[in-house]
Amino acid sequence: MSQTPSDLGTPSTSPSVTAAPANVVSIAKLADHVGETVRVRGWLYNKRSSGKLHFLEVRDGSGIVQAVVFKGNVSPELFTAADHIQQESSIEVEGLVKEHGKIKGTYELDAKDVKVVAPTAREYPISPKEHGTDFLMDHRHLWLRSKRQHAIMRVRHAIIKAVRDFFDENDFTLVDAPIFTPNACEGTSTLFQTDYHGDPAYLTQSGQLYMEAAAAAFGKVYCFGPTFRAEKSKTRRHLAEFWMVEPEVAYMDLAGDMVLAENFLSFIVARVLETRRKELEVLATEKRPDDPEWWTRHMKMLENCKAPFPRITYHEAIDILQKNGHTDAKVGDDFGGDEETTISKQFDRPVIIHRYPIDLKAFYFARDPANPKLALNMDVLAPEGYGEIIGGGEREADLARLESAIAEHKLPREAFEWYLDIRRYGSFPHAGFGLGIERTVSWICGLSHVRETIPFPR
Ligand code: 4AD
Ligand code: MG
């Protein structure tokens, strides 16, 4: 059998890695089997009947296919039984693969046999009618089976694959960062403390400090893993557990960091547009009655997401705010969701804001030599009010200044001795950033809440 490229742009290693029995076919591959009798194994997604026909919508994770059970083709017992299968029972359908009469590129099964592998023990709680988000969140383990959640997770997968491909193809080395850590990287107010054999340890907020050590060993590195923040605020952009990818590069400055960030984000968006159009179309159906044009606008923003991105300083961002309704905005303020929305609305693609007041920023940032009150940092804001998706910048390379910063931030010095070693033994300019996967998925999918972007949100 010839190898076909997978939908993520890389050749599949083997056509039958899971060793499925003969003539069992995944729904996504039905196009290769027109005119053959195959078996599809999955779950009953939906069902309707009209006289001599039952239409069973079967899903198997790779797609959904309509199996047509025609009274004249099956035994009377089977025809009656097919009408009584409950939604989400696991079933196997054997049938002839045909191209759909009306919709080109769509296939259906002319059913010859339908077997119930396991009926449902009770009525499936998620029916096609509208449910509230709280109810759906309580049933997240089942909600994942729905078309919309399926589409979001497939986009998430494509984004993560693009993240890895980008760094792997650009000579970065993957260095995994630990989850238990003695260090507070992003401030002590959002730490989850655990008991590590009698000593406190924190769930990591960021792998950055470890990537700085790794950059001295490998030059260009990245980590990708779960990170944790005990966020006090419940917003549509914050999770307690989220996934972050963090590149760090030796001898890169802030300007280089911005170029890396814009090329990286452009690459991710282009990959999604290339491989996940169908999934985006599923998401386009989300109702926004007050704004019927939003999806067209959203897709245009995605198409536009090409480097270079506009760059503005923090001070220019304050000006934008003052001129756009935030009359009391002043230098020294941090930006919340509303401010980020106002700023991003001025641009047709992501925007980079750089050089924030150092007092607003974490201890590790380098100061701008031209104005030591400013950090050599940058944030990338997604368009359409999705807010900050990337944060990063140049790190303080000077040992004495870093020691003072640790003291000023009232961080426990002992926990950072190893980190100071990076400055003691061959200090070097370096920079990096972190991109939050969930906020990126949320923006690309056009979602209103970040909780739908991760399989099991916390
Ligand atoms: O801006 P942050 O806090 O930066 C860091 O953690 C740096 N140490 C990264 C680095 O330079 N290596 O977080 C980076 C990104 C944010 O831009 C956002 O996308 C995401 O992580 N993020 C969150 N996503 C979901 N829920 C939260 N509570 C998040 N906090 C940050
Ligand atoms: Mg940030």
Which residues are paired to 11 by β-bridges? Answer: 5
pLDDT of the residue at 3: 38
pLDDT of the residue at 16: 63
Please tell me the least confidently modeled range out of 120-134, 170-184, 428-442.
120-134
CA distance between the termini of the chain? 44
Q: How far is the CA of 379 from the centre of ligand 2 (A)?
A: 7
Q: 198 CB contacts (<8 Å, ≥6 apart)?
A: none
Residue 49 pLDDT greater than 90, yes or no: yes
Q: How far is the CA of 319 from the centre of ligand 2 (A)?
A: 20
pLDDT band at 13 (very low <50, low <70, confident <90, very high): very low
If we measure between CA atoms, which residue out of 352, 318, 319 comes closest to residue 332?
318
Rounded-to-integer distance, Cα 340 and Cα 238, Å = 14
pLDDT band at 12 (very low <50, low <70, confident <90, very high): very low
Residue 14 pLDDT greater than 50, yes or no: no
CA angle, residues 142, 148, 149, in degrees to nearest 5? 45
Question: How many helices (H) and strands (E) would you count in the chain?
Answer: 13, 18
User: What's the whole-number mean pLDDT along residues 183-199?
Assistant: 91
Whose alpha carbon is nearest atom 6 of ligand 1?
A: 206
Per-residue pLDDT reduced to its tens digit, 349-385: 999 999 999 999 999 999 999 999 999 999 999 999 9
Counting ligands in written order, the one closest to the CA of 208 is 1
pLDDT of the residue at 105: 84
Q: 439 CB contacts (<8 Å, ≥6 apart)?
A: 237, 382, 386, 387, 388, 389, 450, 453
pLDDT band at 15 (very low <50, low <70, confident <90, very high): low
- Phi and psi at 433, nearest 5°, equal -160, 170
Q: How far is the CA of 324 from the centre of ligand 1 (A)?
A: 26
pLDDT of the residue at 69: 97
Rounded-to-integer distance, Cα 251 and Cα 430, Å = 5
pLDDT of the residue at 18: 72
Q: Assess contact for 208 and 431: CB atoms under 8 A.
A: no
247 lines ligand 1 (CB under 6 A): no
Per-residue pLDDT reduced to its tens digit, 339-351: 999 999 999 999 9
Counting ligands in written order, the one closest to the CA of 334 is 2
pLDDT of the residue at 438: 98
Per-residue pLDDT reduced to its tens digit, 132-182: 989 999 999 999 999 999 999 999 999 999 999 999 999 999 999 999 999
Rg for the chain (alpha carbons), in Å? Answer: 26
Half-sphere exposure of 416 (CA within 13 A, CB side): 21
Half-sphere exposure of 437 (CA within 13 A, CB side): 28
Residue 316 pLDDT greater than 80, yes or no: yes
Rounded-to-integer distance, Cα 402 and Cα 421, Å = 11
With pLDDT > 70 as the criterion, what percentage of the chain qualifies?
96
Q: How far is CA 285 from the centre of its chain?
A: 20
pLDDT of the residue at 1: 34
Counting ligands in written order, the one closest to the CA of 387 is 1
pLDDT band at 8 (very low <50, low <70, confident <90, very high): low
pLDDT of the residue at 289: 75
DSSP letters for 321-351: HHHTT-TT--TTPPP-HHHHHHHHTT-SS-E
388 lines ligand 1 (CB under 6 A): yes
Q: Assess contact for 367 and 279: CB atoms under 8 A.
A: no
pLDDT of the residue at 286: 67
For residue 155, count other CB atoms closer than 10 A to its CB: 23
pLDDT of the residue at 20: 75
pLDDT of the residue at 297: 92
DSSP assigned state of 368: E
Q: 169 CB contacts (<8 Å, ≥6 apart)?
A: none
pLDDT band at 416 (very low <50, low <70, confident <90, very high): very high
10 Å CB burial of residue 278 (0-12, 13-18, 19+) is exposed
- Maximum distance among all Cα pairs of the chain, rounded to whole angstroms: 85
Q: How far is the CA of 408 from the centre of ligand 2 (A)?
A: 20
Long-range contacts of 421-424 (CB under 8 A, 24+ apart): 421/213, 422/212, 422/213, 422/216, 423/397, 423/398, 423/399, 424/399
pLDDT of the residue at 232: 79
Q: Assess contact for 37 and 112: CB atoms under 8 A.
A: yes
Query: To test the ligand 1 pocket, which listed residue (204, 205, 206, 233) has its Cβ within 8 A of the most ligand atoms?
Result: 206
The residue written with tokens 């282009």 in the block is: 270
10 Å CB burial of residue 358 (0-12, 13-18, 19+) is buried
pLDDT of the residue at 392: 98
Per-residue pLDDT reduced to its tens digit, 378-415: 999 999 999 999 999 999 999 999 999 999 999 999 99
Kindly list the distances between the CA atom of residue 22 and the CA atoms of 18, 67, 224, in Å, as whole numbers in the listed order. Answer: 12, 20, 38
Rounded-to-integer distance, Cα 45 and Cα 91, Å = 10
Q: Assess contact for 398 and 427: CB atoms under 8 A.
A: yes
Please tell me the least confidently modeled range out of 173-177, 220-224, 247-251, 281-285.
281-285
Q: 118 CB contacts (<8 Å, ≥6 apart)?
A: 89, 90
340 lines ligand 1 (CB under 6 A): no
pLDDT band at 287 (very low <50, low <70, confident <90, very high): low
| Mean confidence (pLDDT) of the chain | 93
Per-residue pLDDT reduced to its tens digit, 321-339: 999 999 999 999 999 999 9
